[in-house]
Amino acid sequence: MHSDVQRILYSEQELSAITDRIAEKINEDYQGRQLVVVGILKGSVVFLADLFRKLTVDCTLDFMAASSYGNSAVSSGEVKITKDISTDIRNKDVLIVEDILDTGNTLSYIKKYLGSFSPSSVKICTLFDKPCRRLKPITPDYYGAAIEDLFIVGYGLDYAERYRNLPYVGVLKPETYNLTV
């Protein structure tokens, strides 16, 4: 375990089981449909790679980069798209894949933005849902686990671009991100 991690919240095995469960449901729901999976960079990459390999439906992959955090532990509330999709999503089903749904600022913005291109549907898949921090009225269509108000890292989740490479999800020690708790 990394020295900045207080405790492991989800092991590699638990994350694999979560991904299996989500992929199975997506495969059921999108059978016979044309799905465009849109990964939100950078946090979703590890989860997305594992999930995408487990999808058996007809699907393509694209990416967006958007953030309201920067190098802070707290969302600024202002969403910036720094990389847009290149796929024509008109009349296709879109599944946004994200690492965590926290305040909802970023995903609300992205869902509305992608909806403006006339897709058949836009749904959200997130590894973690943190409803206690929600500022926007948004819920994920697929999620791995609901978590309490903890600062988590690993398996793609970061703090100031660090810890994404941890193979598990752990709770970051508060003194690492200098917040009063």
The pLDDT of residue 181 is 46
Alpha-helical segments (H) within 55-139 = 105-115
Residue with tokens 């007809």: 58
Which residue, among 110, 136, 133, has the nearest Cα to 125 in the 3D structure? 110
Q: Chain-wide mean pLDDT for the chain?
A: 93
Among residues of the chain, what percentage have pLDDT more than 90?
A: 86
pLDDT higher than threshold 60 for residue 72: no
What percentage of residues in the chain have a pLDDT greater than 70?
93
Q: What is the mean pLDDT of residues 153-159?
A: 96
Catalytic sites, residue numbers: 102
The structure tokens listed for 97 are 């894949």
Q: In what order do the strands lie in the sheet with 169-172?
A: 5-10, 169-172, 152-153
- Domain ranges in the chain are 12-147
Question: Above 60 in pLDDT, residue 177?
Answer: yes
Question: Does CATH place domain 12-147 in 3.40.50.2020?
Answer: yes
**Pairing mode of beta strands 35-41, 59-67:** parallel
pLDDT at 179 over 70: no
User: Judging by DSSP bridges, how do beta strands 121-129 and 169-172 pair with one another?
Assistant: unpaired
User: What is the DSSP secondary structure assignment for residue 173, as one 8-state letter?
Assistant: P
